[in-house]
Structure 1
Amino acid sequence: MRGSIEGRMPSTWTAEWDGPLLRVATPAQGIAFARDLAGLSVPELDSLIHRLRDYFSKRGEAVEWKTYGHDRPDLPARLRLAGFEPEETETVVIGNAAELATDAAPPHGVTIRKTTARADFDRIAHMESEVWGKDWSWLADDLASRCETSPDDVVVLIAEADGKVISAAWLVGMPGTEFSGLWGGSTLEQWRGKGIYRALVARRAQIALGRGMKYLVVDASDDSSPILQSLGFQKVTTTTPWVWSPRP
């Protein structure tokens, strides 16, 4: 799936390969995905990491190297030596779309619908900013770009109550694979624990199944992972973002 990223990026992202590393510039920050590092010596790996860091240093931007639990075991140590710091580890879970496409409904008073409207993307970004306590305004542009660039691969769902966005989630198809990724799912605190997240998973599973996709994959937080595993998702590995940020 890491090898499919270049073919499903929003138009606002730009990417360039440096050997086995895909270096991606986004409106928010840099992202790096390594497809296969097994053939590199330690000096070669260090050089690759330093080139990535120096590239985004010149841009004055942070960069995230997304590592996985099954990557070469010395990768975290080499990233740390180059000044990268780990963020929260997530659990990668995979589920069978046919088994997850249930009729789970949202609670009374909550509606879920598809959207491609820019005004809705702005409302989603506002909701995310409230959930996380930081500025997520960039998300509106990101969702708009995804839908414009890959309209057949991206579906955005919005959950509302009393005219307010209380949660949102999106499905991202991965061309050339049998997988679709589940993203989003953040919910306002007063609406958590009511089945909204489960309903969004089921709705996206139905859409993925209808598009011929067999599997759903999620980088799940500690909050989401138990819910997803109770629905039938299986843990396969972990993922940890290692982030380098330019110093003032």
Structure 2
Amino acid sequence: MIGVAEKLLAAYENQLRGLVPQDLPWGIVVERDGPLVRTHYGTHGTVDHAGLAHDDLAELIRRQQEVFAARHEPIEWKVHSHDAPLLAESLRAAGFVPGPERTLLVADIDGIPSPETLRSGIRIQPLDEKEERLRRMAAAAPEQRRPLAELEADGTARRAESEMKILAMVHDGRILDALWVERVDGTDFAAIGGITGPRPALFHAAGAWAKRHHIPPALSPRMPRHLVAEAPDALVPAHVAAGFHEIARVSTYRWAPAGEPARDRPAKQLLSDPEHDKIWKRFETRFDVTYETADRGIAEPPASATWHLDAVERQNDPLLAEVEAIVARGLRAVARPGDRLYRLKWYISGSRVDPTRVGGPGQPRWMSYAYLVDEHVIQVTEDLRMGTFGNWRESSLCVFGDELLAHVDEDLTDLLGTVLRRGGRPVGNIWSFGP
């Protein structure tokens, strides 16, 4: 008869290993290579797979090293105790170094016992990942399934109806310990990325959160049934006390190619990030525009041109797609190493991309845009030297910056016809809000 641990291990193997996420975080590229799933984060990458039976493991591993080396991305490759011994041997032979072993644990959410009554003044509450003490505690926590910094970079912690939650045990406003957990789309699992201390009550809170159906059924029809975690030996008893079963051992093997990896992902979603607010203030000051004055446009600099987009009536208009393609090509062509391109909308979330690292072969898709049919939108580099302003009230697109304008001027004029303004001064025969 199959025991509980064996059933949980089978569910883990069938659903989580080699999984391609349904909803990729910003700036992520996932590729399949035979039995392997490669995930490129821009700062590093991972290799995942289900049970691996391959005729030439050495060649398969060498190929992954070549792919990641071309991107200057270090590799993380998890090896489980029930994998064929040849996998660990082949990784070591290729220069991979194993990290500390952890215990792989799974619990049935319904089987997690209710915690003992907390002492007076202690409570468990959701926490914002921007809390500085939380960041320090999470960074100091022993290696587990997934660091909080990685989940934060995914952006899931700040979405409405989030698929991720940070739960903290707090006493008189002071964080005692914290746990971070995420739902795994398309599976029966929620995954605990890590916990800072042995607090069984936090596991119960994580299970209760996972069972609450915050996500609309059309978007996430499967309710989590299991919690999965990876724990160092010191934290295993707390997991077991909370109803987890030990199902395997796991270790992360790492290899780094020559060269310096990127410090930031190629793309990031921005909400109330300090850098988002900072670039907004600088843009408004430089271009003499606010939310209240945006209908009248920006103070268009000498190196700028503005085209009429009245022919665009809907967001999926093929004409607008051609405009966006021209602008994106221009931004990629003239971007400098290390450039940050911000997409901004008043009182709505923004984004940041590195134009040299998105939109090309093997890169994350281009996620910025120059024009919307129902709200103003801005694209601008961090140094404010170039960008675009889409004015939906005027049905116009302003492109500014010498380099960018030189690259797109002819193509946009051929496509759209008459230029409304150059350097902020009317030159066409179409009425506008310009001076």
Q: Tell me the amino acid that sits aligned with residue 51 of structure 1.
A: R
Partner of 1:190: none
Query: How far did 1:223 drift?
Result: 1.5
Match of 1:232 in 2: 243
**Matched residue, 1:202:** 204
Q: Any conservation in 1 of the 2:109–2:225 contact (CA below 8 Å)?
A: yes
SS in 2 for 1:102: coil
Residues 98 and 252 of structure 2 are in contact (CA less than 8 Å); yes or no, is this contact kept in structure 1?
yes
Match of 2:257 in 1: 246
Higher relative contact order (CA 8 A, sep 6+): 1
Is structure 2 residue 70 aligned with structure 1 residue 58? Answer: yes
Give the drift of 1:31.
1.3
In the TM superposition, residue 157 of structure 1 has moved relative to its aligned partner by 1.5
Contact 2:113 2:243 in 1 (8 A): no
Aligned to 2:225: 214
Question: Deviation string for 1:189-217 (max 9, x for gaps)?
Answer: xxxx6xxx211101011122334422111
What's the counterpart of residue 40 of structure 2? 25
Equivalent residues in 2 for 1:85-234, closer than 5 Å: 85-115=97-127, 117=128, 119-120=130-131, 122-131=132-141, 139=149, 142=152, 145-148=155-158, 151-187=161-197, 197-211=199-213, 212-234=223-245
Relative to total residues, which structure has the larger helix share, 1 or 2?
Answer: 1
Count of aligned positions: 231
User: In structure 1, what residue type is equivalent to 2:241?
Assistant: S
Is contact 2:18–2:36 with CA below 8 Å preserved after alignment?
Answer: no
For the pair 1:79 / 2:94, whether they are aligned, the reply is no
Kindly provide the CA deviation profile for residues 158-194 of structure 1, in whole angstroms up to 9, marking residues without a partner as x.
333444434221221122222211122114xxxxx6x
Question: How big is the shift at 1:8?
Answer: 5.4
Stretches of structure 2 lacking an aligned partner (at least 5 in a row): 1-15, 214-222, 260-435
- CA–CA distance in structure 2, aligned partners of residues 113 and 28 of structure 1: 32
CA distance in 2, matches of 1:217, 1:142: 19
Unaligned runs of 5+ in 1: 188-192
User: What TM-score, normalized to structure 1?
Assistant: 0.79
How far 1:144 moved relative to its partner? 6.0
3-state secondary structure, aligned to 2:21: helix
Amino acid at match of 2:205: R
TM-score (normalizing by structure 2): 0.48
Q: Answer whether contact 1:157 1:168 (CA < 8 A) is retained.
A: yes
Q: Structure 1 residues 129 and 155, CA, compared in 2 at 3 Å: closer, same or farther?
A: closer
User: Once the two structures are superposed, what CA deviation does each residue of 1:34-84 show, in whole Å capped at 9, x if it has no partner?
Assistant: 22422x20x2x2222112222222333321101112222210001011100
The separation in 2 between residues aligned to 1:150 and 1:77, in whole angstroms, is 44
**AA aligned opposite 1:239:** V
- Contact kept? 1:9, 1:146, Cα under 8 Å: no
Larger Rg: 2
Shift, 1:150, TM fit? 8.8
Give the partner amino acid of 2:19.
Answer: S
Task: State the superposition RMSD in angstroms.
Answer: 2.8
State the one-letter code of the partner of 2:138: E
